[in-house]
Amino acid sequence: MSNQRTEIASLGEFGLIDRLTKNNEIKQSSTILSIGDDAAVIDHGGMQTVISTDLLIEGIHFDLSYTPLKHLGYKSVVVNISDIYAMNATPTQIVLSIAISNKFSVEALDEFYEGVYAACEKYNVDLVGGDTTTSQRGFVISVTAIGEVAQNKFVKRDGAKPNDLICVSGDLGAAFLGLTILERERKIFEQTGAQPDLENQTYIVGRMLKPEARKDVVDYFAEHNIMPTSMMDISDGLSSELLHICKQSNVGCVLHEEKIPFNEDMKDFAYKLELDPTACALSGGEDYELLFTISQADYEKINENNGLSVIGYITEASEGKNIITRGGNKHELVAQGWNHLK
Amino acid sequence: MSNQRTEIASLGEFGLIDRLTKNNEIKQSSTILSIGDDAAVIDHGGMQTVISTDLLIEGIHFDLSYTPLKHLGYKSVVVNISDIYAMNATPTQIVLSIAISNKFSVEALDEFYEGVYAACEKYNVDLVGGDTTTSQRGFVISVTAIGEVAQNKFVKRDGAKPNDLICVSGDLGAAFLGLTILERERKIFEQTGAQPDLENQTYIVGRMLKPEARKDVVDYFAEHNIMPTSMMDISDGLSSELLHICKQSNVGCVLHEEKIPFNEDMKDFAYKLELDPTACALSGGEDYELLFTISQADYEKINENNGLSVIGYITEASEGKNIITRGGNKHELVAQGWNHLK
């Protein structure tokens, strides 16, 4: 962070691009040509290319009043490459475009790009292109990630079969609680000017502001010769994502509430806020964990990994999509994920 | 165009995506997996993958008061795949993301996508993914194009050598005049309510609203075994682009004003508006023609194509970047292209 303020207009478009990309390092041998031409060139040899894209809009997807720009840069990359991992593929390159209003200084953009490069470094991904332009108002971020996968080893959403086990990585619902506390403190600050009190909830706040993509899970699949029958990442909440898998695979499901993994701090804090941890997991979203199904033959391989949980099983479509509560009741699973269009 | 107005919220996010993509046809055998999963999958076999991206913001890159949505959809695709052709590559897939405010109806988006699909059809490109979200204000479009090129047949900006010939496709400056007349009529409409009078300038208005990418030129290179030494597309004006090639190739240039190709209607109309056609070509931009250099050995092959013009030659860097005017005077070439950041 710096207190200096350099106007973006003083650098000009190409001066700005030079500044933002001068420390950009190429890590992938498949990156033949990177930033600075009409397009980038990538050599995927005998691999298949996987491509995914996200558009992030200030005020809709992020709030700069409590999001440090470095974290925003990091998260912009992570949420996109999370989609590549969700295909059982390895991200290799990204292109990143931004539109900025003149309220941003060059130093603010430097911070954003610090986060972008930190994510590229961590996930071994090359930034190979983009577009830099102005907006009349608000910050717009577009990320497209390219990945590679061995011939026909990609995993879609439509391959779940009856009796397959439903699994998730990590724990769920914490990002939503992180958002809840950040939003609460923002409102208190706006009304009273009081400084934010995050109650030392570093885990849940970190889950919201600096999520990670589950490269380790995809690596684990490769090492243990596991091929999930379907997979997607959890950006909109567990129920919404599981319903996607059921719809695209034309199957039903039984989810066991008691099997949904929670972080202890998250659970305690949810009760403190009088929120149901299960509801946070089902409808919260932004956890960026992997939701996948496996055939029962792979159960032992999943079970011996403490970071993975079996939370239910797939049924025939005619049996519906259901959740069994802790009390043993059966309810229909409904999607209540964030609907950005409402 | 339809007078019906369906609110986007009435479809929901996935209903909207289903509607916008239901007529999406896959044309490329390399498209293994398209819209509907976390990512698309592309098989480029022994080819190299080329990738390019653009971010278009309402009020900065387009004005909906005079841009039909269908044309906007078409142009959004064309300007992006123009970058792929500028690499001497063939576009094969695009991903398209949009952010929309609730001022748009579903019918308005249908029109936009009609244009997108028309461009995909014309250029034989598959739409394989994207992101659909809301904005608080304004329409945001992000397009990433993927193309393929035979091993090391891509053409960069840094290969121009002294004595190479500087060439352009088509004619220049008309898009800028089209923008000028559209902006003039918008202002008159805002002040007086008078209906736009485009003076039957269909050519120049069409160049602005519905540009085409020069697939035919890249095809001509392949058929005649021409490998340009450098190439880029003209989005920001001839002088700005030629200076890019000179800088990246570390060379100088001599441009002959009298060789710059103009459309006759464009020239007449420029004089009517008391604008210099040469200035329109040098600084206007948005022509999406190809600017390229070739070795002198290829002169005959270029000369026999009426759609291509030799407009100057490359020099040593020490000789500077110059234009020879019709009157025989030599001036330094300066970039006055649209600078979106000023």
* DSSP output for B19-40: HHHTT-----TTEEE-SSSSSE
Same-domain check for residues A141 and A262: no
pLDDT tens for residues B244-289?
Answer: 999 999 999 999 999 999 999 999 999 999 999 999 999 998 999 9
What is this structure's pTM?
A: 0.91
Question: Closest Cα to residue B159, out of B251, B21, B26?
Answer: B251
Q: Are residues A212 and A127 in the same domain?
A: no
Same domain, B184 and B252: yes
d(CA B201, nearest CA chain A) in Å: 30
Number of C-alpha atoms within 13 angstroms, CB side, residue A203?
14
Q: Do B122 and B176 have their domain in common?
A: no
Whether A341 is in a domain gets the answer no
Q: Work out the minimum CA distance from B246 to partner chain A, whole angstroms.
A: 13
B251 and B278 inside one domain: yes
For residue B248, tell me if it sits in a domain. Answer: yes
Of B39, B45, B84, the CB nearest to A39: B84
Residue B22: per-residue pLDDT: 80
Chain A residues close to B13, C-beta within 8 Å? 339-341
Cβ pairs A/B, distance under 8 A:
225
* CB contact burial B159-194 (16+ within 10 A = b; e otherwise): bbeeebbbbbbbbbbbbbbbbbbbeebeeeeeeeee
**A97/B53 touch (CB, cutoff 8 Å), yes or no:** yes
Determine the 3-state secondary structure of B125 from DSSP. coil
* pLDDT for the residue numbered A176: 95
- Over the stretch A72-123, which tens digit does the pLDDT of each residue have? 999 999 999 999 999 999 999 999 999 998 888 888 999 999 999 999 999 9
Q: What is the mean pLDDT of residues B188-209?
A: 88
Query: What is chain B's percent helix, strand, coil content, to nearest 5?
Result: 35, 25, 40
- Examine residue B253 and state whether it is found in any structural domain, yes or no: yes
Report yes or no on A209 lying in a domain: yes
Query: Among candidates A255, A1, A8, A206, which has minimal Cα distance to A114?
Result: A1
Residue B43 predicted with pLDDT over 90? no
If asked whether residues B297 and B196 sit together in one domain, one would say yes
Instruction: Mutation target for B interface from A55, A62, A126, A230: give the one with most B CBs within 10 A.
Output: A55
CB B141 within 8 Å of CB B98: yes
Is the same domain home to B113 and B252? no
Sequence-distant (≥ 6) Cβ neighbours of residue A42 within 8 angstroms: A30, A31, A32, A49, A92, A93, A128, A146, B48, B49, B50, B51
- Whether A39 and B339 lie within 8 Å, measured CB to CB: no
Mean pLDDT of B194-220: 91
Is there a domain that residue B154 lies in? no
Q: B133, A93: Cβ pair inside 8 Å? A: no
Q: Which residues in chain B have their CB less than 8 angstroms from residue A291's CB?
A: none
Instruction: Look at residue A34 and tell me whether its pLDDT is greater than 90.
Output: no
CB atoms A60 and B135 under 8 Å: yes
CA distance B32 to A149: 12
Residue B168 has pLDDT above 70, yes or no: yes
Contact in structure between B325 and B257 (CB atoms under 8 Å): yes
Mutate to test the interface with B, among A31, A41, A245 (most CBs of B within 10 A): A41
Residues of chain B found within 8 Å of residue A45, distances taken between Cβ atoms: 46
With a cut of 90, say whether residue B197 has pLDDT above it: no
pLDDT of A316 strictly over 80: yes
Say if residue A8's pLDDT is above 80: no
Domain at A207, CATH number: 3.90.650.10
Say yes or no for a CB contact (<8 Å) between A340 and B13. yes
Chain A residue closest to B38 (CA)? A83
Instruction: Compute the average pLDDT of residues B53-74.
Output: 94
Is residue A38 over pLDDT 60? yes
C-alpha A81/C-alpha A92 separation (Å) is 9
Query: What is the rounded distance in angstroms from the CA atom of residue A234 to the CA atom of residue B339?
Result: 40
User: Quick one: pLDDT at residue B24?
Assistant: 80
Q: Say which DSSP state A7 is in.
A: B
pLDDT at position B342 is: 32
Give me chain A's average pLDDT, please. Answer: 91
Shortest CB distance from A38 goes to which of B32, B38, B83?
A: B83
Place of tokens 């590679």: A148
Q: Taking 70 as the threshold, does the pLDDT of residue B154 lie above it?
A: yes
CB A53 within 8 A of CB A143: yes
Confidence of residue A37 (pLDDT cuts 50, 70, 90): confident
Q: Are residues A23 and A142 in the same domain?
A: yes
Task: Say yes or no for a CB contact (<8 Å) between A51 and B144.
Answer: yes
Write down the pLDDT at residue A342.
Answer: 32
Say which of A51, A151, A342 has its CB closest to residue B39. A51
CATH of the domain at A69: 3.30.1330.10
Chain B residues touching A133 at Cβ < 8 A: 55, 57, 60-61, 340-341
Residues A119 and B209: their CA atoms lie apart, in Å, by 39
Q: Domain for residue A338, yes or no?
A: no
Percent of chain B past pLDDT 90, that is, above it, reads 70
- Taking 80 as the threshold, does the pLDDT of residue B3 lie above it? no
Host domain of residue B145: 8-149
pLDDT of residue A1 exceeding 60, the answer is: no
Nearest CA in chain A to B82: A38
Determine how many CB atoms are found less than 10 A away from the CB of residue A225. 8
Q: Does one domain contain both B124 and B186?
A: no
Task: Give the pLDDT of residue A340.
Answer: 37
Q: Which residues pair with A145 in a beta bridge?
A: A52, A94
Q: Is B4 helix (H, G, I), strand (E, B) or coil?
A: coil
Q: Is the pLDDT of residue B339 over 50?
A: no
CB contact under 8 A, B41 and A131: no
Contacts of residue A285 in chain B, CB cutoff 8 Å?
none
Chain B residue with Cα closest to A148: B41
Residue A264: per-residue pLDDT: 95
Q: Are residue A50 and residue A126 in the same domain, yes or no? A: yes
The pLDDT of residue A142 is above 80: yes
**B290, B325, B286, B70: which is closest to B174 by C-alpha?**
B286
- Tell me if residue A212 falls in helix, strand or coil: coil
Res B338 pLDDT > 50: no
Of A8, A48, A133, the CB nearest to B57: A133
CA of A240 vs chain B CAs: smallest distance (Å)? 11
Name the residue among A331, A156, A158, A154 with its Cα closest to residue A251: A158
Average pLDDT over residues A299-310: 97
Going by their DSSP bridges, the two strands B40-43 and B31-33 should be labelled as antiparallel
User: Scanning the structure block, which residue is given the tokens 């075994």?
Assistant: B225
Region B137-166: what's the mean pLDDT?
Answer: 94
In this prediction, residue A341 carries a pLDDT of 33
Q: What is the dihedral of CA B162, B83, A53, B57, to 10 degrees?
A: 110
Of A8, A128, A341, the CB nearest to B13: A341
Nearest CA-CA distance, residue B36 and chain A, Å: 9
Tell me which DSSP letter residue B138 carries. S
Q: Band the pLDDT of B95: cuts 50, 70, 90.
A: very high
Count Cβ atoms within 10 A of the Cβ of residue B141 and give its class: 0-12 exposed, 13-18 middle, 19 or more buried. Answer: buried
Residue among A28, A30, A45 at smallest CA distance from B47: A45
Asked if the structure places residue B1 within a domain, the reply is no
Q: Which pLDDT score is estimated for B83?
A: 94
What 3-state DSSP class applies to A326? Answer: coil
Please indicate whether, in this complex, the C-beta atoms of B341 and A16 are within 8 angstroms of each other. yes
Contact B155, B245 (CB under 8 A): no
**Rounded CA gap, A48 and A156, in Å?**
14
Average pLDDT over residues B113-139: 91
Q: Is A60 close to B134, i.e. CB distance below 8 A? A: yes
Domain identity same for A186 and A317? yes
Looking at the structure, tell me whether residues A215 and A323 fall in a common domain. yes
Q: Closest chain B residue to A235 measured between Cα atoms? A: B38
Are B341 and A134 within 8 A, CB to CB?
Answer: yes
Cβ distance of B13 and A339 shorter than 8 Å: yes
- Looking at the complex, report in whole angstroms how far the Cα of residue B160 sits from the nearest Cα belonging to chain A: 14
Question: Which of A170-179, B7-16, B79-88, B242-251 shows the lowest per-residue confidence on average (mean pLDDT)?
Answer: B7-16
- SS3 call for B174: helix
What span, in angstroms and rounded, lies between the C-alpha atoms of B217 and B196? 35
Confidence grade of residue A197 (pLDDT, cut at 50, 70, 90): confident
A134 → closest Cβ in B60, B130, B133: B60
pLDDT at A339: 43
The pLDDT assigned to B2 comes to: 52
> What are the counts of helices (DSSP H) followed by strands (DSSP E) for chain A?
10, 14
Q: Give me the residue from B32, B48, B248 closest to A42, CB to CB.
A: B48
Q: Does position A294 have pLDDT exceeding 60, yes or no?
A: yes
Q: What pLDDT sits at residue B341?
A: 33
Per-residue pLDDT reduced to its tens digit, A215-267: 999 999 999 999 999 999 999 899 999 999 999 999 999 999 999 999 999 99
Residue A295 has pLDDT above 60, yes or no: yes
Q: Which of B149, B178, B204 is the last residue of a domain?
A: B149
From B49, B55, B233, residue closest to A140, measured CB to CB = B55
Number of domains into which chain B is organized: 2
CA A97 to chain centre: 18
User: Where do the DSSP E strands lie in chain A?
Assistant: 31-33, 40-42, 48-57, 90-100, 126-129, 132-134, 140-149, 165-169, 230-233, 251-256, 290-294, 308-316, 321-324, 330-332
| Residue at B159 is within a domain | no
Instruction: Check residues A201 and A142 and name the one with the higher pLDDT.
Output: A142
Residues of A in contact with B39 (CB under 8 A): 50-52, 83-84, 86-87, 89, 145, 147
pLDDT value for B1: 46
